Structure 1
Amino acid sequence: MRTIIRRVKIWTPLVILLVIVFAVVQAFRPLPTPTLALTTDASYAFEGDKVSLPWPGEGQGWMDVEGIGKMDSFGEQKPVAIGSVAKAMTAYVILKEHPMKPGSQGKTIPVDAKAETEGGYDKDGESTLNTVKEGDQLSQYDAIAAIMIPSANNIARLLARWDSQGSEEEFVKKMNAAAKDLGMKNTTYTDPSGLKETTVSTAEDQVKLGNELVRMKALTDITRLPEWTDPSGLKYRNYNTLVPYNNAIGIKTGSTTAAGGNLLFAGTQEVGGESAIVVGAILGQHTAPIIDTVNAVSKTAMIAAQDALTSDTILKKGDVVGYVDDGLGGHTPVVATKNVSAVGWAGKTVKLELDASGTIPHAAKSGTEVGTLIVGDGAGEGVEVPVALQKPLTEPDFLTKLTRVS
């Protein structure tokens, strides 16, 4: 008994010390990073049969709603010549490398001898700006207007040289790099104007580009113009005759004998108090006159897409949409801070996801915004509504910290 008692006297303090050390370590261990979990349905389906747009009988086409996803398409999405639709990428690269504020004239571009010479190619049937002379100063605004409205090949090539230290070839490399970054897997650019038949793409790929272009207000301020006056005072009508009707905002026509008539276009539509943008492309229209034909079939498809748009309220302000998980078993509900409306069309399913835009605190009062509910195509874009704590978020209690195993 004396031996047992002696051992108890020796080990008990050690055990107590170990327990105290363990409790202190557990209490002061870094807490797990809180996360957001979705509890509402992960998708919402609009009622009705799948939308089928009125497409032409030849070529290929694609229609998106910017930030939401694909509405409809037709034809085999195989690479075909696109003509001057290629200038849409030329404008994109220029504006990415040389941003221009809406309403400004942008940078100044000196006109070289080659641009003047190539301006005379209009005698051979090329679209050019034949009023520029070597030594002229062309604003960035006018240069982009020249390629997007009268589709001036000589100015597209001038912009390429201006951007890439005189090398059109280097600029074309930038065009293809941009196409790769945008996921345009079936697109190859071989020149900045689109005159070469080796510059090819698909309607699907061009719509990917179009979704980016409609976010560039400095560009759409130009493409929505029905006509443009060059620095010499000469007026040019927009080959895209969808503007200025039916809320159309451009974007770019293209035509050659091989390519037929092609059009990358977009238009806005007010729906549910929001402004949605439909972005479409139709390629390969060979019925003469090809530009008139592609404008006509594009107008029909665009208006049908605009008319198909609708808006549903899928969640109301205060609805529980998920919870904050503290990593130790604690779940604090989060709610929508306003009504959640989704833009879509019959047969469309949109995804819902919770995004923790910043670090979620371990403790916060009710009403604190802790993330965003995104309703869209699942690509991180769409309608965004902040979510907030329904009740106070508190740190795990001492017993929870003490008994944690992770």
Structure 2
Amino acid sequence: MTKTSVEPVVVPRPARRPRLWLSVTALVVALAAGGFITFRLAQPVPAPRIAQTVPQTYAIPGDPPVLPWPRAGQATVEIDGLGRLGASGDARPVPIASVTKVMTAYLVLRDHPLRLDEDGPTLTVSADEAAAYPAQLASGQSLVRVEAGEVLTERQALQALLLPSANNVAHMLARWDAGSSGAFVARMNEAAARLGMADTRYTDPSGLDPATVSTAADQVVLARTAMQVPVLAQIVAMPQATLPVVGQVKNVNTQLGQDGIVGIKTGSTDEAGGCLLFAAEISVEGRRLRLFGAVLAPGPNLADAFAASRRLIQAGSGLVRQYRVVRAGEVVATVRGPMGRSTTLAAAGDVDVLGWPGLTYRIDTLAAVPGRVAAGTGAGTLKLTASATTVTVALRTTGALAPPSWWERITHG
């Protein structure tokens, strides 16, 4: 019997996988992590956001004032820079008589500016203008006597226009400035349109024509603009002046110097009644303000306009007071940075405004805060605005603000 030999079966071991894949995986993970970190750190840190915490507006508390308005005609009163105190009557265009001459003077000075100490160029009275004087006088117009060949400086002509309210000199100035009264009137209407005087139409430079019409509100707009011209403001405040031929002339506005009145122009015709465009200076908390107003036809005579205006000035000048809106240290805004960091902005001083009950100020926070800031750092302003008046106060951070760390940017990006 033959023996069969059985050889052992050798099971091959599996080949060892190279360790390279482990190295590659680790590299990939490392690169991915590095890219992620780089990406997170490369992202810009959002700028802190500022949110105002005080109201967007401040209305002075109390009942709005009621002025002693005239029972007839129309009137408007405002405090320069702060806004309108009120108005009365039917605000439709009506004749304004010699109040028209404010626009005439304003345009002449716009085209031929004068310094306060300057007489300016001259104009000569023509033979036709002198010859027209007797008929004009017979018709009852407001005039100054002139002679052919008479020479007036620009300042003298404006004095004749604005103080005794000379109709004839209004036409002389129009001819001198624009070549003719018609051309000058076109300029008057262009200027009115630029100033936003939508309810005003001029047909002559003197106001004698009742077709020259306006409203109290429009004339206050003009007064506010015209009184910014130093020479015009100087002339309308003069009680008298001396002219070459007629000699001394007096200002028809006999209210000058009373209740702070410093101008600006009277007017009176049968069609217009008594009219007065006025400016008065008032003092509030050591500050000088101007009160502007117009009364058109409160009665048939100029005396009616004087009386109505003085009542309005006396009442209006006592209405303006000082009010505290924000106190020093009061928080007015929050600053929120990334990662929940925050601080606040506080007023560096008291904020006081002038006005009257019902007047509203808009409140704006104008600030920018960097990502890192120390407590007490200046960070902008708080601005309060009413009409053309602006009151500001500096803002400071109440606490520090720091940007997020690199770890926070990675883990909370």
TM-score computed with the length of structure 1 as normaliser? 0.79
| 2:93 is equivalent to residue 79 of structure 1 | yes
Of 129-138 and 11-20, more deviation after overlay is shown by 11-20
Report the residue type matching 1:58 in the other structure: A
Q: 1:39 aligns with which of 54, 79, 94?
A: 54
| 2:236 is equivalent to residue 220 of structure 1 | no
Deviations 1:101-141 (A, max 9, x none): 4x3225313235265455553343222332364361413x3
| Structure 1 contact 115–155 (Cα < 8 Å) conserved | no
- How far 1:76 sits from its partner (Å)? 0.8
Report the residue type matching 1:134 in the other structure: G
- How far 1:282 sits from its partner (Å)? 0.8
Task: Measure, in 2, the Cα distance between the counterparts of 1:161 and 1:395.
Answer: 71
Cα 1:131–1:32 change in 2 (3 A) is farther
Task: Measure, in 2, the Cα distance between the counterparts of 1:106 and 1:331.
Answer: 62
Cα 1:230–1:26 change in 2 (3 A) is same
| Structure 2 contact 201–213 (Cα < 8 Å) conserved | yes
Deviations 1:340-375 (A, max 9, x none): 333333x3333133375xx96858885648346234
| 2:153 is equivalent to residue 134 of structure 1 | no
Cα 1:149–1:321 change in 2 (3 A) is farther
Q: 1:236 aligns with which of 249, 252, 255?
A: 249
| Other structure's SS at 1:154 match | helix
| Structure 1 contact 38–354 (Cα < 8 Å) conserved | no
Task: Measure, in 2, the Cα distance between the counterparts of 1:118 and 1:33.
Answer: 76
Q: How many residues align?
A: 387
For 2:38, the equivalent position in structure 1 comes to 20
Task: Measure, in 2, the Cα distance between the counterparts of 1:395 and 1:96.
Answer: 57
- How far 1:59 sits from its partner (Å)? 0.8
For 1:279, the equivalent position in structure 2 comes to 292
Of 238-247 and 122-131, more deviation after overlay is shown by 122-131
- How far 1:240 sits from its partner (Å)? 1.7
TM-score computed with the length of structure 2 as normaliser? 0.78
Q: How does 1:253-268 map to 2 (within 5 A)?
A: 253-268=266-281
Deviations 1:213-248 (A, max 9, x none): 343333222222222322447222222222121110
Task: Measure, in 1, the Cα distance between the counterparts of 2:343 and 2:111.
Answer: 46
Larger radius of gyration: 2
Q: 2:80 aligns with which of 63, 66, 77?
A: 66
| 2:101 is equivalent to residue 94 of structure 1 | no
| Structure 2 contact 323–354 (Cα < 8 Å) conserved | yes
Task: Measure, in 2, the Cα distance between the counterparts of 1:34 and 1:159.
Answer: 60
For 1:198, the equivalent position in structure 2 comes to 211
| Structure 2 contact 326–347 (Cα < 8 Å) conserved | no
Of 145-154 and 393-402, more deviation after overlay is shown by 393-402
| Other structure's SS at 1:264 match | strand
| Structure 2 contact 210–271 (Cα < 8 Å) conserved | yes
For 1:342, the equivalent position in structure 2 comes to 353
Report the residue type matching 1:387 in the other structure: A
Cα 1:237–1:14 change in 2 (3 A) is same
For 1:110, the equivalent position in structure 2 comes to 123
Q: 1:384 aligns with which of 363, 386, 391?
A: 391
Of 302-311 and 82-91, more deviation after overlay is shown by 302-311
Q: 1:296 aligns with which of 307, 315, 331?
A: 307
| Structure 2 contact 259–314 (Cα < 8 Å) conserved | yes
| Structure 2 contact 195–221 (Cα < 8 Å) conserved | yes
Task: Measure, in 2, the Cα distance between the counterparts of 1:170 and 1:400.
Answer: 77
Cα 1:10–1:62 change in 2 (3 A) is same
| Other structure's SS at 1:229 match | strand
| 2:188 is equivalent to residue 178 of structure 1 | no
| Structure 2 contact 60–323 (Cα < 8 Å) conserved | no
Q: 2:181 aligns with which of 142, 159, 168?
A: 168
- How far 1:63 sits from its partner (Å)? 1.1
- How far 1:275 sits from its partner (Å)? 1.7
Report the residue type matching 2:165 in the other structure: S
Task: Measure, in 1, the Cα distance between the counterparts of 2:365 and 2:119.
Answer: 37
| Other structure's SS at 1:308 match | coil
| Structure 2 contact 328–346 (Cα < 8 Å) conserved | no
Cα 1:320–1:148 change in 2 (3 A) is farther
| Structure 1 contact 105–142 (Cα < 8 Å) conserved | no
Of 169-178 and 238-247, more deviation after overlay is shown by 169-178
| Structure 2 contact 334–343 (Cα < 8 Å) conserved | yes
Task: Measure, in 2, the Cα distance between the counterparts of 1:133 and 1:361.
Answer: 72
Task: Measure, in 2, the Cα distance between the counterparts of 1:237 and 1:24.
Answer: 80
Task: Measure, in 2, the Cα distance between the counterparts of 1:52 and 1:253.
Answer: 25
| Structure 2 contact 325–352 (Cα < 8 Å) conserved | yes
Task: Measure, in 1, the Cα distance between the counterparts of 2:113 and 2:379.
Answer: 33
Q: Structure 2: state its 5+ residue gaps.
A: 1-18
Task: Measure, in 1, the Cα distance between the counterparts of 2:311 and 2:110.
Answer: 32
Task: Measure, in 2, the Cα distance between the counterparts of 1:98 and 1:204.
Answer: 27
Task: Measure, in 2, the Cα distance between the counterparts of 1:34 and 1:133.
Answer: 75
Cα 1:211–1:137 change in 2 (3 A) is closer
| Structure 1 contact 336–385 (Cα < 8 Å) conserved | no
Task: Measure, in 1, the Cα distance between the counterparts of 2:148 and 2:390.
Answer: 48
Cα 1:382–1:55 change in 2 (3 A) is same
Task: Measure, in 1, the Cα distance between the counterparts of 2:87 and 2:407.
Answer: 55
Report the residue type matching 1:335 in the other structure: A
Report the residue type matching 2:314 in the other structure: I
| Other structure's SS at 1:26 match | coil
Report the residue type matching 1:389 in the other structure: R
